Amino acid sequence: MFRNISFYSILTALVLLSACPDDNTDDRNLTPIPVSIEKLTDNEVRIQWTDSGNPKVEGYILSRKVGEKEWINNYDDIPCDVLDFIDTVKIISNTVISYRLRAYTLDDTSDFSDIIAYYGPETAPSNLTLKQIDSENILLKWNDNSVGEENFRIGKKIGTGNWITEYKLIPENQTEYIDEAGSNSDSISYRISAVSGISSSLSISSNTLIISPLSLNNLYFGSDATFEIVTWNVQNFPRNNSETIINLARAIKSLDVDIVAMQEIESNTAFLALIDSLKNYSGYRANSAYANLNVAYLYKPNSITVDSIYEIYQYEYSAFPRRPLILRGKWNNQPLTIINNHYKCCGDGIINYDDSSDEEYRRLRASELLVNYIQEHFADDRVIVVGDLNDEVTDYATNNVFSPFINLPDEFEIADMSIAEGSSVYWSYPTWPSHIDHIIITDELFGAFAQSSSEVLTLMIDNYFENGWNEYALIISDHRPVGLKLKL
């Protein structure tokens, strides 16, 4: 609240005019310059500033912001001959207390000064870790211990070079950053602090890292701040017995996503062994598919609350040789519905409407039935349809088995369309090559998907094997996984 800027304040300013030089010809900048801030007691903070030297200044308007509350822009009015202020404010651990000033004359008010802020020792970031995530990029992660910071400031050092103290400014409340290493041979170090204007917390430094050959431990996709789902056909799991279980578990641990929707889980025993090796995941496998090529879910109970998992369309074998498997649940208490599918494979690329056994017609019918089910049962829900859908979303309309979704652009969006329309290097089924593993969202998720923080990617797991695709295909699958990341 504006503190007593009233008739009495104006009268005081007029009385003090003799102490404030008056020169109406001076056109110097009015803005004051913050100098220092200090804690006096647990309930007092003192700030100091210098004036601009402009004799027109008649006083200062102080603004204050505590933590993440809104700025109080007219917090106090200070005479022109006073260049410090003691504020009575309860100092709370981890909470940043920020100030800024404006000078005023009889007919003008300056811009805001730089922010000056009190950062207690508890506000310093902690647990700064580095992880190489590909051949040239490093993931930085840290704990945000401050409430009300303006940015995080990253410093960087390569080899024996000097620190680049102002290397990057990262937005408030963010706890991850991906940086290009800049060297494949030198050690790389970082440090980070929370900042507001000219003030900052104590900084924390990382251990050093040197770019090295990739392994599954370098994979990255998930974060605590976002919801992620991956669809992954793991071809007759376990394709190479225990070696498949071990390597798939390493990959999933490193990806650290909330849900993995899987196809072709042939062995229930191996699936249970996979869950046991993951520790932080639970799982569910259907058991109705022909030749035991069942769909399944892995999910993290610490972020996903499962309300129910069930199959639909038990009597639509032609459209669904593997029944759709629905997971109804919540991500951090936000409701979501996932539908995991494995459409019929093969065909000649032409929909034959006169042949109910035609592969393309069966896939088209599957899409029609899914649209109908979602419209009837989940009309207002956030729904994500995923799976090995065994066809290309970029086919011409006359032979596009996804036309039931595509023809309703106000209700559905094929989230991975950019991958399908892009380079074949990033397609999910490279041996054909084609992109046939898809993620489709309903309109309730359009806003989240449109945010800059969202991602949809083919996860190039094969790049993390020493012998590339050939080793990956031998041990894991002939499909690459496709992932979606949303900030809900």
Say how far apart CA 58 and CA 17 lie, in whole Å: 7
**pLDDT grade, residue 20 (50/70/90)?**
low
Q: Are residues 143 and 112 in the same domain?
A: no
Domain with residue 178: its CATH number is 2.60.40.10
Token pair for 234 = 């793991």
Q: Are residues 157 and 246 in the same domain?
A: no
Instruction: Give the number of other CB atoms < 10 A from CB of residue 401.
Output: 28
Q: Are residues 470 and 330 in the same domain?
A: yes
Q: Prior bond to 433 cis, omega within 30?
A: yes
Tens-digit pLDDT profile for residues 106-139 = 999 999 999 999 999 999 999 999 999 999 999 9
Q: Are residues 444 and 418 in the same domain?
A: yes
Domain that holds residue 137: 121-205
**pLDDT grade, residue 52 (50/70/90)?**
confident
Q: Are residues 285 and 409 in the same domain?
A: yes
Q: Are residues 421 and 452 in the same domain?
A: yes
Classify strands 259-265 and 227-237 as parallel, antiparallel or unpaired. parallel
Q: Are residues 421 and 283 in the same domain?
A: yes
Q: Are residues 57 and 165 in the same domain?
A: no
Sign of the dihedral defined by the CA atoms of residues 378, 379, 385, 390, in that order: positive
227 Cβ contact list (under 8 Å, min separation 6): 258, 303, 331, 332, 334, 336, 485, 486, 487, 488
Q: What is the CA radius of gyration of the chain?
A: 30
311 within 8 A of 284, measured Cβ to Cβ:
no
Say how far apart CA 181 and CA 209 lie, in whole Å: 9
Q: Are residues 135 and 275 in the same domain?
A: no
Q: Are residues 283 and 382 in the same domain?
A: yes
425 Cβ contact list (under 8 Å, min separation 6): none
211 within 8 A of 136, measured Cβ to Cβ:
yes
Diameter of the chain by CA atoms? 98
Write the DSSP assignment of 121-137 as a string of letters. GGGS-EEEEEEE-SSSE
Closest residue by Cα to residue 327 from 302, 303, 343, 304: 304
Tens-digit pLDDT profile for residues 164-197 = 999 999 999 999 999 999 988 999 999 999 999 9
Write the DSSP assignment of 328-373 as a string of letters. EEEETTEEEEEEEEE------S---TT-TT-HHHHHHHHHHHHHHH
Q: Which residues of 453-476 are buried (b: 16+ CB within 10 A; e: fewer)?
A: ebebbbbbbbebbeeebeebbebb
Residue 401: inside a domain: yes
Q: Are residues 198 and 225 in the same domain?
A: no
Residue with tokens 């995923």: 386
The structure's pTM equals 0.87
pLDDT the model gives residue 167:
98
Lowest mean pLDDT among 7-11, 44-48, 157-161: 7-11
Residue 2: inside a domain: no
Token pair for 295 = 């769909």
Give the total residue count for the chain.
488
Say how far apart CA 192 and CA 165 lie, in whole Å: 9
pLDDT (average), residues 283-298: 96
465 Cβ contact list (under 8 Å, min separation 6): 216, 471, 472, 475
pLDDT the model gives residue 28:
57
298 within 8 A of 262, measured Cβ to Cβ:
yes
The residue among 64, 87, 118 that closes a domain is: 118
pLDDT (average), residues 7-23: 43
Say how far apart CA 323 and CA 233 lie, in whole Å: 15
Residue 41: inside a domain: yes
Tens-digit pLDDT profile for residues 409-468 = 999 999 999 999 999 999 999 999 999 999 999 999 999 999 999 999 999 999 999 999
Q: Are residues 125 and 107 in the same domain?
A: no
